[in-house]
Amino acid sequence: MKSLKNILIKVLIMSGLFLGGVIPAIASDIATTKILAEKGDTAAQSNLGLMYYRGNGVRQDYSKAFDLFQKAANQGLAAAQNNLGVMYESGNGVRQDYSKAFDLYRKSANQGYAEAQNNLGFMYHHGNGVRQNYSKAFDLFQKAANQELIPAQRNLGVMYKSGNGVRQDYSKAFDLFQKAANQGDAEAQNNLGLMYLKGNGVLQNYTTAKKIFKESCNNGSQYGCHNYRLFDKR
């Protein structure tokens, strides 16, 4: 068996804090959101920015998304600070700048925003915009995971599996991958399949590994599909 991959994935962009991730989808709601955003409502600015970023109900426009996130971020909205950080990190709608992304994630994370804690942890893990520090990455992933953020649970599991920033513990890694996988996270399912494949933190079971890789593939993980196909070639 070769080329089986265990991966660490970050959250790229999350929804506005106050609307609970519900993006307006009908014209009347979009119009209302625009009116509120123009009046300076930070939640509306953040959510309208997210709509422009994703192209939900409006033509995708990174420039408008950036301007709206920036307005809300300047007023201290944690969700907008996180989303603006994502734009600086990705280089969508603005020149890529890891340093600015790091500063924005930190501001948001300091307000307890789980998505920013996860993103900031990812920067520490990879040394993007900051000196690599596995210990700080672990602490941030843990804070976000404690708020039930699924990707953070997965990322924390990867750290326990690798032993970077924490004592290696396959059992804890398995539990975290399973928790995220049970909530439908495709990449966590792939990682869980690897645990069964290698017998890390659980009794080795190729049949279960193959089944989980298939679930991961069906849920959209290219790594899960890759690993599942390898089984069919055995």
Whole-number average pLDDT of the chain: 87
For 96-135, write each residue's pLDDT tens digit: 999 999 999 999 999 999 999 999 999 999 999 999 999 9
Given a cut of 70, is residue 57 above it in pLDDT? yes
- At residue 173's C-alpha, the angle toward residues 104 and 109, to 5°, is 15
Mean pLDDT on 50-65: 93
Residue 16, pLDDT score = 27
Residue 234, pLDDT score = 65
Given a cut of 80, is residue 15 above it in pLDDT? no
Residue 231, pLDDT score = 79
What is the Cα–Cα distance from 195 to 178, expressed in whole angstroms?
Answer: 10
Residue 193, pLDDT score = 93
Residue 122, pLDDT score = 93
User: What single DSSP character describes residue 139?
Assistant: H
For 30-50, write each residue's pLDDT tens digit: 888 999 999 999 999 999 999
Given a cut of 70, is residue 1 above it in pLDDT? no
Task: Please provide the distance, in angstroms rounded to a whole number, between the alpha carbons at the two ends of the chain.
Answer: 8
Given a cut of 50, is residue 78 above it in pLDDT? yes
Q: Give residue limits of the domains in the chain.
A: 169-234
Determine whether 65 is exposed, middle or buried from the number of CB atoms within 10 Å of its CB (0-12, 13-18, 19+): buried
DSSP secondary structure letters along 101-155: HHHHHHHHHTTT-HHHHHHHHHHHHHTSSS---HHHHHHHHHHHHHTT-HHHHHH
**Sign of the Cα pseudo-torsion (9, 107, 61, 51, in order):** positive
What is the Cα–Cα distance from 54 to 58, expressed in whole angstroms?
Answer: 9
Residue 55, pLDDT score = 92
Do 68 and 45 contact (CB within 8 A), yes or no? yes
For 142-192, write each residue's pLDDT tens digit: 999 999 999 999 999 999 999 999 999 999 999 999 999 999 999 999 999
Taking only Cα atoms into account, the Rg of the chain, rounded to an integer number of angstroms, comes to 19
Higher pLDDT, 6 or 11: 6
* Annotation: CATH topology of 169-234: 1.25.40
For 200-232, write each residue's pLDDT tens digit: 999 999 999 999 999 999 999 988 898 888 877
Question: The pTM is what?
Answer: 0.86
**Sign of the Cα pseudo-torsion (68, 113, 56, 95, in order):** positive
CA dihedral angle for residue 52, residue 54, residue 60, residue 66, rounded to 10 degrees = 50
Q: Structure tokens of 6?
A: 């265990």
